[in-house]
Amino acid sequence: MQLDMGPVSATICGLLILFLGGSVWVGISLFLVGIGGFFFYSDVAFGSIIANVAWNNTSGSAMMALPFFIWMGEILFRSRISSDLFRGLAPWMDPIPGRLVHVNIMACTFFAAVSGSSAATTATVGKITVPELQKRNYDHDLSIGSLAGAGTLGFMIPPSMMMLVYGIIGDVSIGKLFIAGFIPGFMIAGLFSSYIFVRCLLRPELAPKADDRFTWSDRIRAVPAIAPVVILVMMVLGSIYLGWATPTEAGAVGVVGAFFFAALTRSLTVDVFKVSLINSVKTSCMIMLIVMGASYLSNVMGFLGITRALTQTVVSMQLSPYMLILILTILYLFLGCLIDGFSMIVMTAPLVLPLIDAAGFDLVWFGIYLVVMIELAQVTPPVGFNLFVISGLNNDDLFTIAKAAFPFFLLMLLATVLLTVFPEIALYLPGKMK
């Protein structure tokens, strides 16, 4: 049966928006729309695909690592460590416009290098920072928007599961992809912090100044309050980069370290243990349900040929190199509203990579470009994972979070332009590899 992709795509998008707007659970909404797509537009046995999707998307190493990092964040959040972190950072950040909002960027950058997962980065850091910023009367939109944007760094700063998948599909050196992500990742983090700096310089009330005046003596005395988190991140990072542990094992190291520092600060109690464990299970289940639902909906897109039709339309246009990148950017922004990042790579790379190679673009560079596109998809409704994670953490509705994240979305588009005009941003470090 030949389908008209326009009406089918519009119907699927409309149903998804209807369910989400009707306060149906996000994961359930994705599954319902996927089942409807299979039921009405194909004769595929959608029940067996549900079983495969559920297993394949929850049994991989990335999802095995996710609960550990979430539990680590829960322990930090429930113990004194998180409040100590803010108490320790306050004297150092106080003179800078934006103050503790910059902690979202810094913490996400650190955890991105640990987890390789955008969802894990957003959930872990969000558990710690959002309640503390609310307590200090920081602007809510700036707080959650910066978290949504910075949480995407989990895909850019290595180790990155997206780079791994792209490297396998495109037969591109994974080592070069990993090292290529460092400069773009820190560049994007710098753009985010610069935006916060300028915006809070113009509107200081967004990040209220503390009543206390801090001296250099205060800053030195605050260092021990920061030390547990710094040491914890170094433990997790070090165990990965020294080859002592996989990301999953490093997550377990992080949990043990978090318990140790919670005990050291005398804030580890039976209640903290129980509540942190229960909440980490709840958050992990919420994220996994969303991942399964999004992957199931992606299968619908694949079976119905929606993604392939869109990609083939672009390929058939025979565009100039930079016009090709512009059209691909528009295509990926649209796809990001419909499917998850893994599916964007798997469904489009086999068709797009020969064209990219023929146009003279480096495939390592294109891998970094593609990761930025996936980062953008993380903050675009209705299938933006970071929006769902933050919504699950603080009960804001999806479009409120998307609106708050919009400035950071634009900054990532700016990063895309810079990467395209100056490809050496991504290719300089790989070029130094033998």
Residue 427: inside a domain: yes
Structure tokens at 70: 């979430």
Residue 301: inside a domain: yes
Strands in 22-83 per DSSP E: none
Residue 413: inside a domain: no
Using only C-alpha atoms, what is the Rg of the chain? 22
72 with 41, same domain: the answer is: no
278 with 291, same domain: the answer is: no
Residue 174: inside a domain: yes
Structure tokens at 194: 């610069």
At 212 the pLDDT is: 63
389 with 245, same domain: the answer is: no
Residue 406: inside a domain: no
296 with 268, same domain: the answer is: no
73 with 32, same domain: the answer is: no
48 with 93, same domain: the answer is: no
CA dist., res. 50 & res. 43, Å (int)? 15
256 with 366, same domain: the answer is: no
Residue 70 three-state SS: helix
Is 411 exposed, middle or buried (CB count within 10 Å of its CB: 0-12, 13-18, 19+)?
middle
By residue count, the chain amounts to 434
Among 221, 248, 282, residue at a domain's last position: 282
State the CB neighbour count (10 A cutoff) for residue 52.
12
* pTM over cut 0.75: no
Q: At what angle do helices 5-21 and 270-304 cross, to 10 degrees?
A: 160
CA dist., res. 366 & res. 23, Å (int)? 38
CA dist., res. 317 & res. 304, Å (int)? 22
Tell me, what amino acid is at 146?
S
What are the per-10-residue average pLDDT scores of the chain (434 residues)? 63 75 74 82 73 74 74 80 74 82 83 68 79 86 92 82 79 83 93 94 85 78 84 79 76 88 87 88 80 76 73 71 88 79 74 79 94 88 77 80 92 95 92 70
Count of structural domains, the chain: 2
Residue 407: inside a domain: no
Tell me, what amino acid is at 295?
S
12 with 53, same domain: the answer is: yes
At 378 the pLDDT is: 84
- CA neighbor of 295 nearest in space, from 45, 15, 51, 44: 51
Structure tokens at 105: 């960027």
- CA neighbor of 161 nearest in space, from 53, 66, 78: 66
165 with 183, same domain: the answer is: yes
- Determine the Cα angle at 388 with ends 235 and 390, to 5°: 55
Residue 414: inside a domain: no
DSSP labels, 230-283: HHHHHHHHHHHHTTS--HHHHHHHHHHHHHHHHHHTT---HHHHHHHHHHHHHH
- CA neighbor of 174 nearest in space, from 166, 185, 183, 186: 166
| 311 CB-near residues (< 8 Å, 6+ apart) | 331, 347, 348, 351, 352
The domain of 31 spans 5-58+286-395+421-431
91 with 66, same domain: the answer is: yes
Among 257, 282, 307, residue at a domain's last position: 282
| 243 CB-near residues (< 8 Å, 6+ apart) | none
How does DSSP classify residue 206? G
Among 282, 310, 330, residue at a domain's last position: 282
- CA neighbor of 98 nearest in space, from 186, 205, 191: 205
At 413 the pLDDT is: 94
102 contacts 153 by C-beta, under 8 angstroms: no
154 with 246, same domain: the answer is: yes
- CA neighbor of 300 nearest in space, from 339, 348, 256: 339
Is 47 exposed, middle or buried (CB count within 10 Å of its CB: 0-12, 13-18, 19+)?
exposed
168 with 120, same domain: the answer is: yes
Q: Give CA 220 to chain center in angstroms.
A: 33
Residue 404: inside a domain: no
Is 85 exposed, middle or buried (CB count within 10 Å of its CB: 0-12, 13-18, 19+)?
buried
